[in-house]
């Protein structure tokens, strides 16, 4: 009995997502000045991207009762995961948080490299256009309540991913 097309499509999407995770881990391994006493950056990438695939992570962090159908598992986590990595690995000594109203990522100050743990939610062309439109986050958001909510969600994500 043949499996339905939707099963094969989902399996292919998951395989692409997992390959992108390992590609991101390789990029993460190249940053010499990123430091956390408990986790390497590649470990953090792996644990976060694995947690993005879990329904309970979506529920706890994004407060969504259902995972979005036909979307990349990392969709919705860009702001929270970028902020979490930033906070756990040297903050503004190492990174600049960059973004647009639509998407956030990290800019590595020493190398000038963009590090985007959730880039797979966009096509390669779309994400390059987004990067060109980006600016430092402090120019986008200055509201204290926003950062309190962001910190709380980052804490929940760290917990769900096993980074605490």
**Rounded CA separation 56/164 (Å):** 17
User: Residue 46's closest CA among 85, 11, 8?
Assistant: 85
H or E element that contains 25: helix 5-28
**Rounded CA separation 58/88 (Å):** 21
- The tokens describing 44, both together, are 């953090």
CB 112, CB 73: distance < 8 Å: no
User: Residue 116's closest CA among 69, 19, 70, 49?
Assistant: 49
- For each of the chain's 164 residues, which pLDDT tens digit applies? 555 555 555 678 889 999 999 999 999 999 988 989 999 999 999 999 999 999 999 999 998 777 777 789 999 999 999 999 999 999 999 999 999 999 999 999 999 999 999 999 999 999 999 999 999 998 876 678 888 999 999 999 999 999 98
For the chain, domain boundaries: 5-161
- The tokens describing 10, both together, are 């989902």
Torsions phi, psi for 149 (to 5 deg)? -65, -45
Sheet containing 135-136: order of strands: 113-115, 104-108, 95-99, 135-136
Q: Given CA atoms 22, 26, 31, 36 in this order, what sign does their dihedral have? A: positive
pTM more than 0.85: yes
């Amino acid at each position: 009995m043949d499996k339905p097309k939707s099963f094969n499509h989902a399996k292919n999407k998951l395989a692409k997502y997992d390959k992108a995770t390992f590609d991101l881990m390789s990029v993460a391994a190249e940053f010499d000045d990123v430091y956390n006493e408990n986790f390497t950056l590649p470990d953090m990438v792996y644990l976060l991207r694995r947690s993005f695939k879990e329904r309970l992570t979506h529920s706890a962090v994004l407060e969504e009762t259902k995972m979005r159908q036909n979307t990349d598992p990392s969709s919705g986590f860009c702001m929270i995961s970028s902020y979490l990595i930033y906070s756990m690995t040297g903050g503004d000594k190492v990174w600049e948080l960059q973004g647009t109203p639509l998407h956030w990522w990290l800019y590595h100050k020493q190398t000038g490299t963009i590090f985007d743990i959730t880039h797979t939610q966009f096509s390669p062309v779309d994400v390059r256009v987004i990067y060109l439109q980006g600016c430092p986050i402090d120019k986008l958001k200055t509201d204290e309540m926003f950062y309190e909510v962001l910190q709380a969600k980052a804490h929940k994500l760290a917990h769900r991913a096993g980074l605490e």
